[in-house]
Structure 1
Amino acid sequence: MTHYKITIITLLSTLLMTSCLSTEEKKIKAEEEGNAMVSIKSKLIKGAGDALKTDGKEALESASEGIGEAFKGLTTGYDKSINQAKVLSDSIFSKTFEIGRTEKIYSDTTNIKKVTVYLIANQSFDRKIKLKAYDQSKREIGRSTKKITIEEDDALFIDFEFDNRTPLLQADYFIISHN
């Protein structure tokens, strides 16, 4: 045999002998590898826990802020919804009142048709106010009158009730005034 073949056979024999571990040695090696893996994973989990302690508060604050913004969007969406009533006024009315939130309320089952207007008084007032409904063609389609008494710098919701035959869903805008 050549020297080259003898060297290869010797190397292979050595590798084979050293790689053949007994069953007990294999179990010990597997246990050591398992312990190492558990140690690594537990350190990862501990690191994640430590990160949550320090950064978790900031993450929750950020999530809460995001939820708050979503609710703001919800209320903005409500304000732009079909139930919002577009209420206009003339300059005389605007000197007396500031118009706040408005809402159209209609129900076929209870035959309730009304527009709620939140008014803030710039001065005391004790008279009737009128709300007229107009369609897209600028034709009046209904009206409602209410007598109110309010002190300066006070506010109240006023429900203007409309006749059941008023097509309130077709109302494009409303004009509020006082005599």
Structure 2
Amino acid sequence: MKHYSILLLILLATACSVKRTGEKTGEVVGEFIKGASSGVQNSFKVEVELTPELRQRGLELGKIIIANDTMGVDNLVSVYCIFNQDFDDTVMLKAFDNQKLETGRSKKIIKAKKDDAGFYDFAFDRRANLDAEDCRLVLQ
């Protein structure tokens, strides 16, 4: 029985359950375990904003996934980008906490043709704390 408990804790530490709200809102609602020993689940909301400049250039957001690294830290963001125009530029995803303080940045070079779409991964410093309440992400 002890082995099953340890296996369950390992699975819980590495799992990331994400639910999407809205078709094109760029918001993610997920669940995470707070204190593996207590087994209490809490929800967190991550808001993603797309700058007007990127919207004008034909970029649209689809699903957003917050994932964890091999140590179980939620510091990876996968953004599904839809291109309504040709795109060739570097974009930056910035993370802010609930006090509007910047907590991290991640850059990605993106080259895509009109009507292309796909996931683009942004890795943040492990201290960015992307699973905190009211975390906000801005793609610019």
Q: So what's the TM-score if we normalise by structure 2?
A: 0.64
For residues 115-172 of structure 1, the C-alpha deviation after alignment (integer angstroms, 9 at most, x for no partner) is 1110000111111000000111111111100001100111010000111222222261
Is 1:147 aligned to residue 109 of structure 2? yes
Q: Is the 8 A contact 1:133 1:173 kept in 2?
A: yes
The aligned counterpart of 2:100 is 138
Runs ≥4 in structure 1, deviation > 6 angstroms? none
What is the CA–CA distance in structure 1 between the aligned matches of 2:73 and 2:129, rounded to whole Å? Answer: 12
Question: Where does structure 1 lack aligned partners over 5 or more consecutive residues?
Answer: 1-76
For residues 54-109 of structure 1, the C-alpha deviation after alignment (integer angstroms, 9 at most, x for no partner) is xxxxxxxxxxxxxxxxxxxxxxx822532664210121111220100101112462
Higher-helix-fraction structure: 1
Identity %: 32
Question: Where does structure 2 lack aligned partners over 5 or more consecutive residues?
Answer: 1-17, 22-28, 32-44
Aligned residues: 101
Q: Superposed, which structure 2 residues align to 1:79-94 within 5 Å?
A: 79-80=20-21, 81-82=29-30, 85-94=46-55
For residues 31-75 of structure 1, the C-alpha deviation after alignment (integer angstroms, 9 at most, x for no partner) is xxxxxxxxxxxxxxxxxxxxxxxxxxxxxxxxxxxxxxxxxxxxx
The DSSP-based 3-state class of the residue aligned with 1:119 is strand
Report the aligned-residue RMSD.
2.2
Higher-strand-fraction structure: 2
Bigger Rg over Cα? 1
Q: So what's the TM-score if we normalise by structure 1?
A: 0.51
Quickly say closer, same or farther: Cα 1:134–1:112, change in 2 above 3 A: closer
Is 1:173 aligned to residue 121 of structure 2? no
